[in-house]
Each structure stands twice: as C-alpha cells, then as structure tokens.
C-alpha cells in the first residue's frame, strides 16, 4: 500500500510538522493560497470521518482545529485582495445558536473581505436575537449562517423566523452553509441560498451586488 503524502492526509492525521512543511513547499512552488485552503478543507472532512469512525477522539478534533486556525492566519494575508477602497457591500455572518464550529465561517468571511465586503462577524453560538440586533444596526445585503451540527437545524429556522418577525426579511438575502447544511435545510427554513463551499457563498454574494 502506498502512503498518502498529501497535505489533506497530514491534516487529517493532525501531523502539524508535515502540514507546515507541505504548505511551505506549495507556497514556494507558487500554488494559489485558495487551493491550499481547499486541500485543508478536505483534510478536516477526513478528520471528522475518522472521529465518527472512532479512529480518533475529541482532543484530535481540537488539535486539528488549532492547526487549521494557524494555517488560516498564515494564508489570510496572501489571499488576493481584489477590491480596494470603500466596501462594496455589507454582510453579517455567524455560527448559529449552540454551534461553536467557526473555521468554515471564518473562511467565508476571509473570502468575502477579499472581494471587498465589509463583514460583521458575530462569532459562534449566535442567538436569533443577536442576528436580529446586528441586522438592525448594520443593514447588511446578505446574512450568512454556518451550521455544522444536525442538532442545530432548529436554530437556523429560529433565526429566519426571528428575522421575519422583526420585519427585516424583505430585501435581505439569507444564505446557509456548513457541513450540516443542505439545499433541503435551506428550503425548509426559508433561506435564499445554500452554499456547499465558501466559494459558492462568495459567488452568491457577488452576484447579489452585481460584482463580476
Ligand atoms: C474541528 C471540529 C471540531 C472542533 C471545532 C473547532 C473550531 N474552532 O471550529 C471542536 C473540537 C470544538 C468540535 C466540537 C464538536 N464537534 Co466537531 N468537528 C470538527 C470537524 C472535524 C471539522 C470542522 C471544520 O472546521 N471543517 C473545515 C471547514 C473549512 O469546513 P466547514 O466548516 O464545513 O466549512 C466549509 C463549508 O461548509 C462552507 N461553509 C461553512 N459555513 C458556511 C456558511 C455559509 C453561509 C456558506 C455559504 C458556506 C459555509 O465553507 C467552508 C469552506 O468551504 C468536523 C467534521 C466535518 N465534516 O465538518 C466535526 C463535526 C462537525 N463535529 C461533530 C461533533 C459531533 C462535535 C461535538 C458534538 C463533539 C462532542 N462530542 O463534544 C462538539 C460540538 C461542539 C458545539 N457545540 O458546536 C460532528 C457533527 C455530527 C453531526 N451530524 O451533527 C462532525 C461532523 C464530526 C463527525 N463526523 O462526527 N468539533
């Protein structure tokens, strides 16, 4: 059997030194930072599968998360800033109530900022009331909810309902993403868009404000 020497495999195995060496090597070879992020996403998915199969445990998820965060800190300044000057539009993003996973949400934020959006990051475990408060204050074009736990499905619906009840739904676009999200969840909860990846979310946001 041949050994998998990929970056994704190194991250899925929480092999920090191998992850760092691979990233350095790829950056030196001119690989685009966004491609490196995509390989890391795959590694995190595999790490989750190993956790579900009891091949690794919670401390491994935590360590994997820490490695991924340090990768993002390194790559963020390298992701091409395509838009300078005044923000082109505003977005509000958060991980829904009871969900503390923030790596994917932060990638979406990083990419939206890269195309010139001003992004209000509400963080993790964001209650419906907090989303409503931020929408009232910042008047965003788009709101993004991140959900990685199936137990948090109801939090997506509760957030959409709270936004509607506050009279803020008209003219506002709602997108949902994260490992537990799906087109069905988006449809059932009354969102406008489901994004499988951060790139999908950015494409949706771009098209909303007429950016090419
Ligand atoms: C790392 C990790 C953790 C870390 C999180 C660290 C952090 N700071 O985020 C810690 C250790 C805290 C953790 C805790 C738990 N976790 Co966890 N975790 C993961 C893991 C391995 C990786 C998540 C990740 O960062 N992926 C990488 C990012 C880049 O991917 P992503 O978030 O999906 O985001 C991408 C897209 O989805 C998209 N996206 C994300 N958000 C949005 C939003 C919008 C609007 C758009 C358009 C796109 C978008 O963009 C990103 C890039 O393309 C996943 C496995 C998986 N398959 O996701 C399990 C996983 C999500 N966790 C799981 C579980 C069970 C838990 C715990 C309950 C474990 C426990 N027993 O305590 C707790 C729950 C804590 C809580 N209340 O939230 C399960 C969930 C199962 C389920 N069906 O609900 C998973 C799927 C693992 C598994 N296979 O069992 N976890």
pLDDT at position 114: 82
CA-nearest residue, atom 55 of ligand 1: 48
Output the domain CATH number for residue 126: 3.40.50.280
Residues with CB under 6 A from ligand 1: 41, 44-45, 47-49, 51-52, 58, 61-62, 64-65, 68, 98-105, 107-108, 144-146, 148-151, 175-180, 195, 197-198, 200-201
CA-nearest residue, atom 29 of ligand 1: 104
Output the domain CATH number for residue 15: 1.10.1240.10
CA-nearest residue, atom 69 of ligand 1: 58
Residue 160 and residue 108 in contact, taking contact as beta carbons nearer than 8 Å: no
pTM, two decimal places: 0.92
Do 117 and 22 share a domain, yes or no? Answer: no
Do 68 and 95 share a domain, yes or no? Answer: no
Do 33 and 56 share a domain, yes or no? Answer: yes
Residue 92 and residue 120 in contact, taking contact as beta carbons nearer than 8 Å: yes
Site to probe by mutation for ligand 1, drawn from 97, 179, 191 as the one with most ligand atoms within 8 Å of Cβ, is 179
pLDDT at position 22: 97
Do 99 and 35 share a domain, yes or no? Answer: no
pLDDT at position 86: 79
Site to probe by mutation for ligand 1, drawn from 98, 104, 140, 144 as the one with most ligand atoms within 8 Å of Cβ, is 104
Do 123 and 172 share a domain, yes or no? Answer: yes
The atom number, within ligand 1, closest to the CA of 194 reads 47
Do 143 and 43 share a domain, yes or no? Answer: no
Distances from the Cα of 82 to the Cα of 60, 74, 78, 103, 113, angstroms: 35, 18, 12, 22, 9
Residue 32 located in a structural domain: yes
Q: What's the total number of domains in the chain?
A: 2
Segments in the chain forming alpha helices (H): 7-12, 16-28, 33-52, 58-75, 103-114, 128-138, 153-165, 183-189, 198-208
pLDDT at position 79: 77
R_g over Cα of the chain:
18
What is the CA(197)–ligand 1 centre distance, in A? 13
Residue-number span of the structural domain to which 52 is assigned: 7-78
Residue 1 located in a structural domain: no
pLDDT by 10-residue block (mean), the chain, 212 residues: 82 96 96 91 92 94 94 86 74 98 93 90 98 98 98 98 98 97 98 95 92 77
d(CA 182, CA 100): 19
CA-nearest residue, atom 49 of ligand 1: 177
């Amino acid at each position: 059997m041949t050994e998998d020497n990929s970056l994704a495999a190194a991250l899925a195995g929480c092999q920090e030194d191998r992850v760092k060496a691979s990233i350095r090597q790829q950056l030196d070879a001119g690989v685009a930072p966004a491609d490196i992020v995509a390989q890391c996403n795959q590694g995190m998915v595999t790490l989750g599968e190993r956790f579900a199969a009891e091949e690794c445990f919670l401390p491994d998820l935590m360590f994997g998360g820490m490695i991924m965060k340090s990768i993002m800190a390194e790559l963020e300044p390298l992701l091409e800033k395509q838009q300078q000057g005044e923000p082109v539009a505003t977005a509000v993003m958060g991980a829904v109530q009871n969900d503390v996973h923030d790596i994917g949400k932060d990638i979406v934020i990083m990419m939206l900022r890269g195309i010139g959006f001003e992004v209000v990051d509400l963080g993790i475990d964001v209650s419906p009331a907090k989303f409503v408060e931020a929408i009232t204050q910042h008047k965003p074009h788009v709101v993004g909810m991140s959900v990685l736990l199936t137990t948090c499905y109801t939090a997506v619906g509760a957030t959409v309902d709270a936004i509607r009840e506050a009279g803020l739904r008209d003219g506002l676009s709602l997108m949902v993403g994260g490992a537990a999200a799906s087109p069905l969840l988006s449809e059932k909860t009354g969102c406008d868009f489901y994004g499988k990846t951060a790139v999908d979310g950015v494409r949706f946001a771009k098209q909303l404000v007429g950016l090419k």
